[in-house]
Structures are given as structure tokens and as C-alpha cells.
Amino acid sequence: MRTRLVVFIAVFQSVLFLGHVFLYETWTYFWRAPDPPGISPLQLTLGILSISFLVTSLLAFRYTNPLLRWLYTVAAVWLGALSFLFFAACACWVVYGLARLTGATVNGRLLDLALFGTAAAVSGYGVINAAWTRVRRVSIKLPNLPASWRGRTAALISDLHLGHVKNTGFARRMTAIINRLKPDIVWIAGDLYDGTAVDAKRAASPLKELQPPLGTFFVEGNHEEFRDPAKYLEAVRASGMRVLDNEKAEVDGLQILGVPYRHATHASHFGSVLEAMEIDRERASVLLTHAPDHVAVAEAAGIGLQVSGHTHVGQFIPYTWIAARIYREFVYGLNRVGKMLVYTSSGAGTWGPPLRVGSQPEIVLIQFE
């Protein structure tokens, strides 16, 4: 395991370093900047930035303090911007190559400014977009829904990723938004925490203010499982939420089930866990599980509605396309498989780079018809 980790770190850092070298060579070539003797300020800056995310990430898994949180956030933003800057650099060479083939003249400096300026603008938009949490309203009609549930609302939120980028202040803001919606019940579909070092109880403490009449229910995601989930689950319970750990809760005639991420990753085990819950197929049921990995298994078990998160819809281009290819129609929104409805949330927070381009952070308000 340790050898794999070392290999991954070495490969990841090598890719980052080569990416920064590519940026430097592109910038200086098209800007026609002379190559100064020794190490230039630009080379030094890019060199530091190339190792910033890996170094701060390794520290973030062991320590937490305001300075480290700020450094990690800066490094994470830069990592996201690097993706767009890399594509801008590629575009520079493509335009230059086409110009050479057609005999056209290209102003290298203007090309540099236009493409890298666009990449910087898109990165800035991504940061702003990721910080603007929307409320999405969805109406759902479930067969055999108890009459008492008609007209009731459920707030679904997932993937807050409380840690070094988002912490207590973010949890407080999400709590305020949910309370203004006045839902009857709240569902938190995993990855409340980022998995890095964090004061778990303090970070989640604002969630104590969530007081829906029918309660708040939580199911753990993969980031709670980066380490021993016990400290996270203890903090969740201390915030007044009920943790569903392979169990079923009866809430005014509605079956609400929760399966943690680690028990839902393998189809056969997931199926056996659901079977053990003795789901009444003649009554409405809602399954909370972090990822929409095996929706056919949940449908076969007789679930009426599955709510999940995890995908982030890829967060930003081009990863949005990759996520869509992996999860297909279940990457985001309300969809159906057989008799079961599936709602996959894009999540409220971010993981890694706090950018969103091609996706939006959300809190979902589900109204039952």
C-alpha cells in the first residue's frame, strides 16, 4: 500500500512539474521573452506552484490551522486554473501550427494574451460559480406514498466537504439556506467532510440549527472513509443527526433506508445489505446512499426513490465529460431505472480545486405529490 502511494505521488508530481514546464515554454516562446541567466522570478514562481498542491495536501491530512487552510486553498485554486491554462497553451500551439501551414501571420503576444487571458477569466468564473449555491426544486410522485406525505418537502444536500477550503462558515451558510426553505425532513447523502485533518465537531456544529419536524438523516460517503469514520459519525450524531448505517427508519409511514458508501460499492454485497433490511415493496421507500453506482440493484430490491451525490457532475470541464461517461444519465438530476426514481445531486461543496465550470453547486428541495 505504501509503495503504491509513493508511486502515485511521484507520478502525480511529475505530471504537475511537466505541465508547468510546458506553460513556461509556451508563455516565453509566444511572448518572445529572452531567457535570462540563472533562475528567473517566473521560473521560481512556477516551480513553487508546481509542488504547492501536493505539499499542502500532505500537510492537510495531518494538520489544520488558518495559515495551512489558506495555503491549501490557494494551491487548490491554482490546480484548477492549471487545467484551463494547459488547454490555453495547447491552443496556442494549434493556432500557431495552422498559421504556419496556411502562411498566415500570428502575433504571438496577442495570441498569448487572448488565450491565457480567457483561461484566467474562466478560472475566475469557476471560483465564483462554485461559491454560489443554488436551490433546485423538484416534484416527485411515489407510488403508495402515505397520504400524510403528500405536499411535504425534503431538503437533500450532499458533498459539503468540510475541511481546509470550506469549514464552519460554509456549514453555517448551508444551514441558513435550508432553514429558510422550511423542509419537513433533511437528508445528507455523504461526504459531509473532506477527509483531511479537521475539528469534526466544530466544523459541523452549525448543523445543530437544522430542526426539521421529521428529523435530519445522514449516510456516510467515501471521504468519511478515508480514515476511521468513527470520529466523523460521532460529530454527526453530536450535531443532532441520525446516522443510517445499513438500517431502515420508519418516518410517518415512509421507509427511509441508508447504506454507507463502503457497503454499496460491490453490487452483490449491496444487494444482500438491502435484502437484510426487509423492505416492504407495497409501501413507499427512499434510499440514501452516497453514489449512484448500482441503481439497478436498488431497483431490484424494491426501492421507490434513491437519492445520492458523489459525482459533482465532474465539477469543471473536461472532467464533466468524464463523469457523464462514467455515470451516464445518472450523473446528475432526476432519472428513472425500471420502477425506481433516482436523484443525483451535484453537491453543495467542492473537492480539490474549488471551481465549477459546467456544473453548479446545489441544495435540492424535493416536494412529494
pLDDT digit string (tens) for 282-296?
999 999 999 999 999
Going edge to edge, which strands form the sheet with 134-140? Answer: 134-140, 362-368, 153-157, 185-188, 216-218, 242-243
Mean pLDDT throughout 68-85?
97
Decide if pLDDT at 39 tops 90. no
Mean pLDDT throughout 352-368?
97
Q: Which helix (H) or strand (E) holds 6?
A: helix 2-31
Decide if pLDDT at 36 tops 80. no
| Predicted pLDDT at 106 | 86
User: Which comes out higher in pLDDT, residue 160 or 228?
Assistant: 160
- Between CA 247 and CA 65 the distance in angstroms is 37
- For residue 357, list its beta bridge partners: 316
Tens of pLDDT, residue by residue over 129-182, are 999 999 999 999 999 999 999 999 999 999 999 999 999 999 999 999 999 999
| Predicted pLDDT at 40 | 87
Mean pLDDT throughout 303-307?
98
Maximum alpha-carbon separation in the chain: 78
Mean pLDDT throughout 350-369?
97
pLDDT band at 360 (very low <50, low <70, confident <90, very high): very high
| Predicted pLDDT at 315 | 97
What does the mean pLDDT of the chain come to? 95
Cell 427512499 belongs to residue: 286
Mean pLDDT throughout 233-256?
96
**Using an 8 Å Cβ cutoff, are 288 and 307 in contact?**
yes
**Using an 8 Å Cβ cutoff, are 154 and 345 in contact?**
no
| Predicted pLDDT at 244 | 97
Decide if pLDDT at 64 tops 80. yes
Mean pLDDT throughout 105-109?
89
pTM metric for this prediction: 0.93
4-13, 120-129, 191-200, 263-272: segment of lowest average pLDDT = 4-13
| Predicted pLDDT at 207 | 96
Torsion of CA 127, 226, 295, 249, to 10 degrees: -110
Task: For the chain, list the domains and their CATH numbers.
Answer: 2-130 (no CATH), 134-368 (3.60.21.10)
Tens of pLDDT, residue by residue over 187-227, are 999 999 999 999 999 999 999 999 999 999 999 999 999 88
| Predicted pLDDT at 69 | 96
Decide if pLDDT at 1 tops 80. no
Mean pLDDT throughout 90-112?
92
- For residue 145, list its beta bridge partners: none
33-42, 86-95, 193-202, 247-256: segment of lowest average pLDDT = 33-42
| Predicted pLDDT at 53 | 96
Exposure string of 119-137, with b = 16+ CB inside 10 Å and e = fewer, is beebbeebbebbbebeebe
Reduced to 3 states (helix: H, G, I; strand: E, B; else coil), residue 238 is helix
| Predicted pLDDT at 47 | 95
